[in-house]
Homo-oligomer: A and B are copies of this chain.
Amino acid sequence: MVAFLSARDVAQAVNRLGAKAFWPRLVDYLREDFKAWSAFDKSPRFASHSPGGVIELMPAGDSRTFAFKYVNGHPGNTQLCLQTVVAFGALADVATGYPIFLSDMTLATALRTAATSALAASHLARPESRTMALIGLGAQSEFQAHAFHAILGVDRLRIFDIDPEAFEKFERNMAGSGVALTRCDSARDAARGADIVTTVTADKRRATILTADMVAPGAHVNGVGGDCPGKTELARDLLLRSEIFVEYAPQTRIEGDIQQLPPDHPVTELHDVLAGRRSGRTSPDAITIFDSVGFAIEDFSVLRLLRDLARETGVGSEIELIAAPVNPKDLFSLLRPESAPAVRREAARQGH
């Protein structure tokens, strides 16, 4: 039997632990896996493109555990009242190849994306950062807000979206969080005076949400929405005057905001900062950018945590994902369930 968490179960596991405990724990799992960077098989993802979008299989694993995520990206889904991105994933035991855990990952991907942003910011933003601009109030926005509140103590948000309804949804989801919200009229207005600027817009094209003149010296930019070829948020001039940090350079140069820069433009990989091999921000006045695109190791981390939470909290169920014949060499016996007693009688009669 394989442990299974539905999206509802994931939510229940998170809520049972409580946001205060959950976010630091997820960041710990992420930090641990990022620090073990060289132990991971960093295979490229498999992508199947179609007119409506893309379906991807993202594998990740170390010597003990293999993980993969199924995830799509279909921008037109909102017109069908469907999500643009849904995902599920599994963990397997490398020693035997048996799957051990299956989970929804729509919610889990949102959680790990926000936790990775917060982990990066905890090393890159100035320590006294408490005010964050949040530009784009879509599906990922509240996750970012809660993660930054839990990990960095960000308690003032300057929020903006082009859709007025998005403000209401966001405010509803932040009610009771202890975070003060200020509605802003534009991205420029939101960024004003912010210690951290998070861009998490959904427009699938080369957009310019943030330019160099909108960002104060010493700010940290958490660029989340520019995450695939042709989709960017940060102006080239902002990138050129900033210190840029990425998850995995070969992938980010294709998918991230730095797709606008020459392929040899210097960037620092986050794992090198976490492991102390490279420094984070070099001065209080520097602008740092985390050009986030999402990496398979993050899926590995969140799946690991969810599997542990399933065990600890008892949330979830078990499903018979793979066949389990009594005799592993006798798979066909599964097709004859009704014959099993007869077989035993016959064997007894023949003296076996």
Q: Is A261 an interface residue (CB 8 A)?
A: no
Specify which chain B residues have a CB less than 8 angstroms from the CB of A169 in the assembled complex. Answer: 327, 329-330
The answer, yes or no, to whether A77 is at the interface (CB within 8 Å) is yes
Report yes or no: A139 in contact with B104, Cβ–Cβ below 8 A. no
Query: Is there an interface contact between A334 and B8, defined as CB atoms closer than 8 Å?
Result: yes
Q: Which of A65-118 contact B (CB under 8 A)?
A: 66, 68, 70, 72-74, 77-78, 80-88, 90, 92, 94-99, 102, 104, 106-107, 110
Please, what's the 1-or-0 string for A299-325, where 1 marks a CB less than 8 Å from any CB in chain B? 000000000000000000001111111
Which residues from chain B contact A83 at a C-beta distance below 8 Å? 323, 325, 328, 331
A107 touching B331, Cβ below 8 Å:
yes
B48 touching A59, Cβ below 8 Å? yes
Cross-interface CB contact of A334 among B61, B80, B90, B107, cutoff 8 Å: B107
Contact stretch, chosen from A207-215, A265-273, A335-343: A335-343
When the two chains form their complex, are residues A43 and B43 in contact, meaning their CB atoms are under 8 A apart?
no
The verdict on A143 contacting chain B, using a C-beta distance below 8 Å, is yes
Chain B, Cβ-Cβ closest to A43: B46
B329 near A78: Cβ-Cβ < 8 Å? yes
Bound-complex Cα distance A352 to B172 (A): 13
Which interface residue of A6, A80, A321 has the most chain B CB atoms within 10 A?
A: A321
A43 touches B52 (CB 8 A): no
Known contacts A172-B343, A319-B4; decide if A97 and B53 are in contact (CB<8 Å): yes
Are B52 and A104 within 8 A (Cβ)?
no
B94 touches A321 (CB 8 A): no
- Given that A83-B328, A329-B169 are contacting pairs, would A104 and B66 also be in contact in the complex, using a CB cutoff of 8 Å? no
Please indicate the chain B residues that have their CB under 8 angstroms from the CB of A319 in the complex: 4, 6, 319
A168 cross-chain contacts in B, Cβ below 8 A: 352
Give residues of chain A (28-73) contacting chain B, Cβ–Cβ below 8 Å: 41, 43, 46, 48, 50, 52-55, 57, 59, 61, 63, 66, 68, 70, 72-73
Residues of B within 8 A of A10 (CB): 323
A333 within 8 A of B: yes
Partner of A52, one of B46, B53, B94: B94
Q: A158-175, CB under 8 A of B: which get 1 and which 0?
A: 000000001011001101
Known: A86-B99, A107-B331, A329-B138. A6 touches B52 (CB 8 A): no
Contact with B along A12-30 (1 / 0, CB 8 A): 0011000000000000000
The one of B41, B59, B323 in contact with A86, judged by C-beta atoms closer than 8 angstroms, is B323
A19's nearest neighbour on chain B, judged by CB, is B335
Q: In the assembled complex, how far is the CB of residue A25 from the closest CB belonging to chain B, in whole angstroms?
A: 15
- With A172-B343, A321-B104, A322-B87 known as contacts, the answer to whether A329 contacts B139 (CB < 8 A) is yes
CB contacts (< 8 Å) of A68 on chain B: these are 57, 70
Whole-angstrom distance between the Cβ of A7 and the nearest chain B Cβ: 3
Tell me, rounded to whole Å, the shortest Cβ–Cβ distance linking A108 to chain B. Answer: 9
Q: Is the CB of A331 within 8 A of B106?
A: yes
Query: Which of B72, B73, B330 makes the CB contact (< 8 A) with A92?
Result: B72
Q: What would 12 A/B residue contacts be, using CB atoms closer than 8 Å? A: A6-B319, A6-B320, A41-B48, A48-B94, A54-B97, A55-B97, A72-B96, A73-B97, A85-B97, A107-B331, A139-B329, A172-B346
